[in-house]
Amino acid sequence: MEKHRDLEEILLSVPQSRSVGIEITNKTSVTLRNPSYFCQSGEVFTPPSPSISPQSREMCVFVKRHLSAWGVSGALLYVSEPFSFALMFYNPRNNTIFDHQYSVEIFQGPTISGSLESLYWSMRGDRPQSQTYRKEVLDKKNSSIVVSDGPYSISATMSNNNKAVLKVLVEETRGPPPKYTPNCFPHPKDISKDRHPQAFTYLPK
């Protein structure tokens, strides 16, 4: 993928009428690896990068199949040792009848249970939402998603046009700095009395 070009500019050059471009920015201290994807409709146009290093970004593109009556929908998964995350995207064949959808889920550890296809249907369904799973249905406005698990959080937005843009920011929140406590150091011992002992008082005989 041409990193010097914006994702929106890249999608304009994609010949298919419907597409989903995904941009992932990794602001954590770990490398995101071993991507896997599932296409319920459509196909991959530019495959995901094998890894996304800390403080870098990568892009991939999924498109509608030629002469297909369907749109573009699927799921993308990246893993790392402390956490993994999945994205579900749905760009329908007709957005005047159907709404765009997307969801994000974060997991502990480098593996998920079940297949990516089953995860796609789970993330697209009407399951309860939580801190680790969020889904948005886009009508006439864009909405953002934020999920988190421990020190890791993922923010995402998606546009609702024919060539949809899904942007993802993966961040790591480090612990707060130690609180400053006033007077945390002991004061030097007041030895003024030792240096100046009390004077004797002489009583008259």
Give the whole-angstrom CA distance, residue 198 versus residue 2. 85
Give the whole-angstrom CA distance, residue 60 versus residue 2. 10
Q: Identify the helix (H) or strand (E) that includes residue 45.
A: strand 43-46
At 10 the pLDDT is 87
Lowest-confidence pick of 19-33, 80-94, 128-142, 143-157: 128-142
The three-state secondary structure class of 118 is helix
Which residues make Cβ contacts (< 8 Å) with residue 195, sequence separation at least 6?
Answer: none
CATH ID of 7-195, from 3.30.1600.10, 3.40.50.2000, 3.30.1740.10, 2.60.270.20 = 2.60.270.20
Is-above-0.95 flag for pTM?
no
Each residue of 50-97: pLDDT tens digit?
999 999 999 999 999 887 878 999 999 999 999 999 999 999 988 778
Kindly tell me the burial class for residue 199, based on how many C-beta atoms sit within 10 Å of its own C-beta (0-12, 13-18, 19 or more): exposed
